[in-house]
Amino acid sequence: MRITISGPPGSGKTTVCTLLGERLHYDVVVSGNIFRQLAKERNMSLSDFGSLCSVDPKVDKELDSKMVDIAKSADNIILEGRLTAYMLSSNNISAFKIYLYASKEVRAARVVNREGGSIEQREAEIVEREACEALRYKNYYNIDITDTSVYDLVIDSSMLNPEEIVEMIVSKVS
Protein backbone atom coordinates (compact mmCIF):
# COMPACT_ATOMS: atom_id res chain seq x y z
CA MET A 1 0.00 0.00 0.00
CA ARG A 2 1.16 3.51 -0.81
CA ILE A 3 0.51 6.13 1.84
CA THR A 4 0.90 9.87 1.42
CA ILE A 5 1.15 12.28 4.31
CA SER A 6 0.71 15.97 3.64
CA GLY A 7 0.18 19.11 5.65
CA PRO A 8 1.66 22.51 6.41
CA PRO A 9 5.09 23.10 8.01
CA GLY A 10 5.21 21.94 11.62
CA SER A 11 2.10 19.75 11.44
CA GLY A 12 4.07 16.62 12.32
CA LYS A 13 4.34 15.05 8.89
CA THR A 14 7.96 13.95 9.05
CA THR A 15 7.78 12.59 12.59
CA VAL A 16 4.60 10.65 11.83
CA CYS A 17 6.07 9.34 8.56
CA THR A 18 9.16 8.07 10.36
CA LEU A 19 7.18 6.34 13.11
CA LEU A 20 4.63 4.93 10.67
CA GLY A 21 7.40 3.65 8.41
CA GLU A 22 9.00 1.86 11.35
CA ARG A 23 5.65 0.43 12.44
CA LEU A 24 4.67 -0.84 8.98
CA HIS A 25 8.23 -1.62 7.81
CA TYR A 26 7.75 0.71 4.84
CA ASP A 27 10.33 2.93 3.21
CA VAL A 28 9.75 6.64 3.78
CA VAL A 29 10.48 9.40 1.28
CA VAL A 30 10.35 12.95 2.67
CA SER A 31 10.10 15.65 0.01
CA GLY A 32 11.02 18.34 2.53
CA ASN A 33 14.44 16.75 2.98
CA ILE A 34 15.00 16.93 -0.76
CA PHE A 35 13.78 20.55 -0.82
CA ARG A 36 16.05 21.50 2.11
CA GLN A 37 19.02 19.84 0.44
CA LEU A 38 18.40 21.76 -2.78
CA ALA A 39 18.24 25.03 -0.77
CA LYS A 40 21.44 24.14 1.07
CA GLU A 41 23.25 23.30 -2.17
CA ARG A 42 22.41 26.80 -3.34
CA ASN A 43 23.39 28.37 0.03
CA MET A 44 19.84 29.70 0.40
CA SER A 45 17.39 29.86 3.28
CA LEU A 46 14.15 27.94 2.83
CA SER A 47 12.31 31.23 2.47
CA ASP A 48 14.70 32.50 -0.22
CA PHE A 49 14.67 29.15 -1.98
CA GLY A 50 10.87 29.17 -1.92
CA SER A 51 10.95 32.62 -3.49
CA LEU A 52 13.24 31.30 -6.22
CA CYS A 53 10.82 28.46 -6.84
CA SER A 54 8.01 30.99 -7.25
CA VAL A 55 9.75 32.41 -10.33
CA ASP A 56 11.37 29.18 -11.59
CA PRO A 57 8.96 26.23 -11.71
CA LYS A 58 11.67 23.73 -12.69
CA VAL A 59 12.62 22.87 -9.09
CA ASP A 60 9.06 22.16 -7.94
CA LYS A 61 8.22 20.21 -11.06
CA GLU A 62 11.41 18.17 -10.80
CA LEU A 63 10.71 17.30 -7.17
CA ASP A 64 7.07 16.42 -7.90
CA SER A 65 8.08 14.28 -10.86
CA LYS A 66 10.58 12.39 -8.69
CA MET A 67 7.89 11.69 -6.10
CA VAL A 68 5.55 10.34 -8.81
CA ASP A 69 8.32 8.13 -10.22
CA ILE A 70 9.11 6.78 -6.75
CA ALA A 71 5.42 6.08 -6.13
CA LYS A 72 5.10 4.24 -9.43
CA SER A 73 8.08 2.03 -8.60
CA ALA A 74 7.08 1.00 -5.07
CA ASP A 75 4.00 -0.46 -3.45
CA ASN A 76 4.77 -0.39 0.27
CA ILE A 77 6.00 3.15 0.76
CA ILE A 78 5.16 6.33 2.60
CA LEU A 79 5.56 9.58 0.67
CA GLU A 80 5.60 12.84 2.59
CA GLY A 81 5.04 16.08 0.75
CA ARG A 82 2.69 18.99 0.40
CA LEU A 83 1.53 17.98 -3.10
CA THR A 84 2.12 14.24 -3.06
CA ALA A 85 -1.55 13.31 -2.67
CA TYR A 86 -2.51 15.60 -5.54
CA MET A 87 0.32 14.34 -7.76
CA LEU A 88 -0.57 10.70 -7.20
CA SER A 89 -4.28 11.36 -7.75
CA SER A 90 -3.65 13.24 -10.99
CA ASN A 91 -1.42 10.38 -12.20
CA ASN A 92 -3.98 7.69 -11.26
CA ILE A 93 -1.68 6.12 -8.66
CA SER A 94 -3.59 4.57 -5.82
CA ALA A 95 -2.66 5.57 -2.29
CA PHE A 96 -4.18 6.17 1.11
CA LYS A 97 -3.87 9.94 1.48
CA ILE A 98 -3.53 11.65 4.87
CA TYR A 99 -3.54 15.34 5.75
CA LEU A 100 -2.18 16.57 9.09
CA TYR A 101 -2.80 20.09 10.33
CA ALA A 102 -2.39 22.14 13.49
CA SER A 103 -2.80 25.75 14.50
CA LYS A 104 -0.14 28.22 13.38
CA GLU A 105 0.93 28.72 17.01
CA VAL A 106 1.41 24.99 17.63
CA ARG A 107 3.31 24.58 14.38
CA ALA A 108 5.57 27.55 15.12
CA ALA A 109 6.39 26.12 18.56
CA ARG A 110 7.27 22.78 16.97
CA VAL A 111 9.56 24.46 14.46
CA VAL A 112 11.26 26.40 17.29
CA ASN A 113 11.81 23.12 19.17
CA ARG A 114 13.28 21.54 16.04
CA GLU A 115 15.27 24.42 14.58
CA GLY A 116 15.47 27.17 17.21
CA GLY A 117 14.51 30.81 16.86
CA SER A 118 11.56 32.62 18.36
CA ILE A 119 7.86 31.82 18.08
CA GLU A 120 7.23 35.19 16.41
CA GLN A 121 10.02 34.63 13.86
CA ARG A 122 8.83 31.11 13.04
CA GLU A 123 5.17 32.18 12.74
CA ALA A 124 6.18 34.92 10.29
CA GLU A 125 8.25 32.42 8.27
CA ILE A 126 5.37 29.94 8.22
CA VAL A 127 2.93 32.59 6.99
CA GLU A 128 5.36 33.73 4.29
CA ARG A 129 6.20 30.19 3.20
CA GLU A 130 2.57 29.10 3.05
CA ALA A 131 1.56 32.14 1.00
CA CYS A 132 4.44 31.56 -1.41
CA GLU A 133 3.63 27.86 -1.76
CA ALA A 134 -0.12 28.42 -2.18
CA LEU A 135 0.54 30.84 -5.03
CA ARG A 136 3.07 28.51 -6.68
CA TYR A 137 0.81 25.49 -6.48
CA LYS A 138 -2.11 27.44 -7.90
CA ASN A 139 0.00 28.89 -10.72
CA TYR A 140 1.91 25.72 -11.60
CA TYR A 141 -0.76 23.06 -11.12
CA ASN A 142 -4.07 24.87 -10.49
CA ILE A 143 -4.15 23.25 -7.04
CA ASP A 144 -5.86 24.95 -4.12
CA ILE A 145 -3.72 23.71 -1.23
CA THR A 146 -6.56 24.44 1.23
CA ASP A 147 -8.83 21.91 -0.52
CA THR A 148 -8.61 18.71 1.54
CA SER A 149 -11.17 16.74 -0.49
CA VAL A 150 -8.41 14.65 -2.09
CA TYR A 151 -7.52 13.10 1.30
CA ASP A 152 -8.88 9.89 2.83
CA LEU A 153 -8.06 10.97 6.39
CA VAL A 154 -7.68 14.48 7.85
CA ILE A 155 -6.18 14.77 11.35
CA ASP A 156 -5.78 17.78 13.64
CA SER A 157 -2.40 17.04 15.23
CA SER A 158 -2.53 19.99 17.64
CA MET A 159 -3.41 17.98 20.75
CA LEU A 160 -2.15 14.54 19.70
CA ASN A 161 1.28 13.05 20.10
CA PRO A 162 2.88 11.31 17.10
CA GLU A 163 2.21 7.82 18.48
CA GLU A 164 -1.52 8.59 18.78
CA ILE A 165 -1.58 9.77 15.17
CA VAL A 166 0.22 6.64 14.01
CA GLU A 167 -2.36 4.51 15.86
CA MET A 168 -5.18 6.38 14.11
CA ILE A 169 -3.58 5.78 10.73
CA VAL A 170 -2.80 2.12 11.35
CA SER A 171 -6.42 1.53 12.38
CA LYS A 172 -7.54 2.95 9.02
CA VAL A 173 -5.03 1.16 6.77
CA SER A 174 -5.08 -2.29 8.43
65 annotated among ligand-binding-site residues: no
66 annotated among ligand-binding-site residues: no
Look up residue 112 and give its amino acid: V
CA pair distance 57, 138, nearest whole angstrom? 12
4 annotated among ligand-binding-site residues: no
3-state SS class at 60? helix
Which phi and psi angles does 56 have, rounded to 5°? Answer: -135, 95
Query: Cα–Cα–Cα angle for 27, 13, 63, nearest 5°?
Result: 65
116 annotated among ligand-binding-site residues: no
57 annotated among ligand-binding-site residues: no
**Ordered alpha helix ranges (H), 42-93:** 46-55, 58-73, 84-90
Residue 145: count of CB within 10 angstroms of its CB: 18
162 annotated among ligand-binding-site residues: no
7 annotated among ligand-binding-site residues: yes
Query: Cα–Cα–Cα angle for 36, 50, 110, nearest 5°?
Result: 60
Output the CA–CA distances (angstroms, integers) from residue 29 to 4, 46, 71, in the order listed: 10, 19, 10
Residues that constitute the known binding site = 7-15
Residues that constitute the known binding site for ATP = 7-15
